[in-house]
Amino acid sequence: MSTVAVFPGSFDPLTNGHVDIISRGARLFDRIIVAILVNAEKRPLFTMDERVEIVRHVFRDRPNVEVDTFDGLLVDYVERRQAQVIVRGLRAVSDFEFEFQMTLMNRRLSPGIETVFMMPAEQYTYISSRLIKEVFSLGGRVHGLVPELVEQRLRGKV
C-alpha cells in the first residue's frame, strides 16, 4: 500500500522553508499533496490561482508532488483524498504549542490520521510567509528565502 501525505497550509506565499519540507516529504512518502487552504486569510496577497501555479511550477519535475486546494476541516479533506498522513513543518519552539493543539484536535476528530513533523534546513528556520511579505513591502531583500517565481510575483505587486 502506498503512503500518501497531505501538507496543508496557506502558502501566501510559498517560501523556501515550505519547499524544503515538501522535498523532504516527497522523498519519504509515495505521494505528497500540497493542500492550499481556501480563505485562510480574508485578504491574501496571492490569489489562489497564483499560489497553485507557483507550487506547480516549483515542483514541475517532481511527479509525486501534487497541488490541490481545500476548505472545511482538514481531516475531512485528508480522508476524502485517502491519505494517511498530515505533514507539518516545525521551525522553533514557538511553533510547538499551536501545532500540538492542532495535532491532538485532528487526532480526536480522526484517530486514523497520523501527523508527522519535519524540520527544515537550519537556514530556513526563521522564515515565515508573513515575514517575507512584511520585509518585501518595506523594501527589504528576500532573495534566497523564496523561489524565484515568488520574488518575481512580489515585484509585480508593489
Compare residues 61 and 75 and give the one whose CB is closer to ligand PNS. Answer: 75
Give yes or no: 42 in active site: yes
In the complex, minimum distance from the CB of residue 105 to ligand PNS, in angstroms, rounded to a whole number: 4
- Here the cell at position 18 is 515550505
Q: What DSSP string describes 47-101? A: -HHHHHHHHHHHTTT-TTEEEEEE-S-HHHHHHHTT--EEEEE--SHHHHHHHHH
**Of 3, 56, 62, 105, which lies in the binding site for ligand PNS, with binding defined by CB under 6 A?**
105
User: Terminal CA-to-CA distance of the chain, rounded, Å?
Assistant: 47
Place of cell 528565502: 145
Please select the residue that binds ligand PNS; options are 9, 13, 120, 147, rule is CB under 6 A. Answer: 9
The verdict on whether 23 is a catalytic residue reads no
Residue 23 engages ligand PNS in binding (rule: CB under 6 A):
no
Residues 40-79 that bind ligand PNS (CB under 6 A): 40, 73-74
Shortest CB 8 distance to ligand PNS, Å:
4
Amino acid of residue 7:
F
